[in-house]
Chain A
Amino acid sequence: MTEPSSEPAAPEQDPLAVETELPSSLMTVNLGPSHPAMHGTVRLVVTLDGETIVEAVPEIGFLHRGFSKSSEQSTWHQVLPYTDRLNYVSPVLNNVGYIMGVEKLASVKPTERAEYLRVLAGEISRICDHLTCVGAIGLELGAFTVFLYAIEARELLWDRISELCGARVTVSWTRIGGVATDLPPGWEEKLRDCLPRVLELTDEIDALLTRNRIFVDRTRNIGVISAEEAVDWGFTGPCLRACGVNYDVRKAHPYSVYDRMDFEVPLGSRGDTYDRYILRLQEIRQSHRIVLQCLEQLPPGPIIIDDWRYALPPKKDVFTSIEGVMAHFKLIMEGMLIPKGEVYVYTEGANGELGFHIVSNGKGKPYAIQVRGPGLPILSALPRLIKGHAIADLIPIFDSINMIGGEVEQ
């Protein structure tokens, strides 16, 4: 009800109905930008009628770091650390998405081992991302145990990532034509040791939440969006698949070695908060399958191409041959000279389609680069998702879309 009615209720009306029509005035509440439940720095101006959300206006940009402008001043490889900071929960997936665009422009094909390593580390990152999202939903609905389980599992995997890439979050791990580091000795056994524990913890979360009456009541039929509407709003990833639309870049346009992997794309049917939650749990299990297949199929061989136009020469050559020194010098001082062209490259990020629109003018730096963070279109639909719900439902809905400030605000 938007404005208090001045006319008295008609006498023949049902007295209960009259009571529900009692005049109330609207109230505006500011959520954020610094609020523990806002996952970063988003400001939401919510207009309430009692406890019901009438209108919500998201305001973003508090975390804007000028990703595009900074990248245009950097060499092709110097952009990699900026991409780490887009989605800081699954940075490997950003690295892969960006470097695939550069490789597409340069017509470079990475080595087979590097492709497998990228898929391997990418799927581990995807598990971490989904665990974070599921844990946060639990946490903010009062299930603190779930959060602890999820974080324990995520830490196990982030330890593996840091052993492989040298950093937990700021990995900057891919290179044009390959990756930076190979598997350290004994890493495979460590991963095989910790994966069952990750699955066990995922099952614990499943047991604690999926049939939990309180959790189901709080999420079922909350924040519903239909398939057509979701596409209209630009949804991708788990949020789109929760509506039943079967679009996963890994299946629709298999890149890297995803065409050799045996996995399923779980689909939801209702498009509500519960479906978005349960889909992430199922995707964790599918990613686990992909990781195991990668470990089995992992071929031996070099991890980066032997093309000194794009890949740094091995240190042995730099220190012993004039060609190596020259190639190293040119690549560091001038950057890789990527041929002219324009490309939109898309990969399946943890929250949806991660796209990079890259323009090269044939020089050592990207001429223009813009990112399509999967969270931006989904966040833009947040007012539509929460409208008409109670303010207490805002938090689980906002959790389930898993907005990552870094990629949305660039």
Chain B
Amino acid sequence: MAQAFIELLREKLPDAVVSSHAEKGGDDVVTVKRERLVEAMAFLRNDPATDFKLLRQIAGVDLLTYQTESTGGASLAGREGPAYEPRKKSPVEPRFQVAYNLYSITKKKSLRVRVELRSEDLRVPTVTSLWRTADWWERYIFDMFGVQFEGHPNLQRLLMYPEFVGHPLRKDYPVRKRQPLVPELDFPDLVRGPGPGPGGAGVPMSQTHVGRQNVDPTTYD
């Protein structure tokens, strides 16, 4: 499909392309070096032979639990999210991917440009100089994954509030973690368990008269 464009990119910038492949669904993916990203993107956008004028979306992927995440079976039957263990060094490297979904309206072709990032160095040059729409998408990726877009004019959180700590779409961000700006009411919510709960702070809901008796005490903490 879009293999021809990848070949053009290879010819133009042979040392920028790391690899390329076609996904099973038919999407063409090219991985480029982070240092050459802007150059490669400028070529793909401005060259009349490629003409990828529309940046559809920037997506992020955190590969931390790609191999290990136990989905299905018991983990679905239980209400717990994956255990939260902040790690000094994650075992999966490069851990993050930033995917730019491009589209050429004139050529009617799609292409995904991907950058791989190691967790100790989450910097990517910004492409806001090429597409205005990259402004908000980069803010979104920064908000959700903590990727630093160098040279971005206004790199602030897009959806979460400024006081928020952490990056929610990282796989080691706990699903049930709550960061209220105002103290939460001492109200027993049997399903989600916000706030300290009826026993006061530190007493698991399951050990109070309100909580269910057959629940693992660590579930609501």
**Chain A interface residues toward B at CB < 8 A:** 60-61, 64, 66, 68-69, 73, 75, 104-105, 107, 229, 231-234, 236, 245, 247, 252-253, 333-335, 337, 339, 341-346, 353, 355, 357, 359, 361, 363-365, 367-368, 370, 372, 376-377, 380-381, 384, 409-410
Interface size, B (range) = 35 or more
Q: Are B73 and A104 in contact (CB under 8 A)?
A: no
Determine the residue in chain A with the shortest Cβ distance to B77.
Answer: A333
- CA A361 – CA B137 in complex, angstroms? 24
A377 CB, nearest partner CB in chain B, Å = 5
Decide: B56 and A353 in contact? CB cutoff 8 A.
Answer: yes
What are the nearest 4 A-B pairs in CB distance? A234-B133, A363-B71, A334-B72, A364-B72
Which one of B29, B59, B76, B133 lies within 8 Å of A364 (CB-CB)? B76
How far, in Å, is B68 (CB) from chain A's closest CB? 9
Question: Complex Cα distance A64/B164, Å?
Answer: 13
Distance between Cα atoms of A367 and B73 in the complex (Å): 16
Interface-lining segment among B7-15, B20-28, B35-43: B20-28
Distance (whole angstroms) from the CB of B2 to the closest CB of chain A: 12
Contacting residue for A232 out of B73, B131, B136, B144, CB 8 A: B131
Q: Does chain A have a CB within 8 A of B57?
A: yes
Q: Which of B71, B108, B110, B175 is within 8 Å of A344, CB to CB?
A: B110
Cβ–Cβ contact A377 & B159, under 8 A: no
Determine how close the nearest CB of chain B comes to the CB of A79; give it in whole angstroms: 13
**Inter-chain contacts of B29 with A (CB < 8 A):** 342
> How many Å from the CB of A155 to the closest CB on chain B?
32
- Name which of B59, B60, B70, B108 has the most chain A CB atoms within 10 A of its CB: B59
Once the chains are docked, how many angstroms separate the CA of A75 from the CA of B55?
Answer: 30
Q: Is the CB of B136 within 8 A of A333?
A: no
A183 to B166, CA, bound (A): 47
Query: Chain B's nearest CB lies how many Å from the CB of A166?
Result: 24
For A247, list chain B residues within 8 Å (CB): 54, 105
Residue B53 CB within 8 A of the other chain: yes
Which residues of B are in contact with A by a Cβ distance under 8 Å? 23-27, 29, 53-57, 59-62, 66-67, 69-73, 76-77, 81, 99, 101, 105, 108, 110, 112, 131-133, 135-137, 144, 157-161, 168-169, 173, 175
Let me know if B69 and A333 touch, CB within 8 A.
no
- Determine the distance from Cα of A232 to Cα of B81 in the docked complex, in whole angstroms: 40
16 further interface pairs, Cβ-Cβ under 8 Å (given A75-B76, A372-B101, A381-B133): A60-B159, A61-B159, A66-B168, A105-B24, A105-B25, A236-B54, A245-B105, A334-B76, A341-B23, A343-B25, A343-B27, A344-B110, A346-B56, A363-B72, A365-B71, A410-B159
Closest residue of B by beta carbon distance from A373? B57
Instruction: Report B61 CB to chain A, min CB distance, Å.
Output: 5
- Given A73-B81, A234-B55, A343-B25, A335 contacting B76 (CB threshold 8 A): yes
CB contact between B105 and one of A231, A341, A357 (< 8 Å): that residue:
A231
Expressed in whole angstroms, the Cα–Cα distance for A68 and B169 within the complex equals 7
**Distance to closest chain B CB from A393 (angstroms):** 21
Report the separation of the CA atoms of residues A361 and B65 in the bound assembly, to the nearest whole angstrom: 9
Residues of A within 8 A of B67 (CB): 361
Q: Are B135 and A380 in contact (CB under 8 A)?
A: yes
Are B61 and A359 neighbours in the complex by a CB distance under 8 Å?
Answer: yes
CB distance from B27 to the nearest CB of A (A): 6
Distance in angstroms from A379 CB to nearest chain B CB is: 8
- Alpha-carbon separation in the docked complex, A229 to B56 (Å): 14
B144 CB contacts on chain A under 8 angstroms? 68
- Asked if B101 and A333 sit within 8 Å, CB to CB, the answer is no
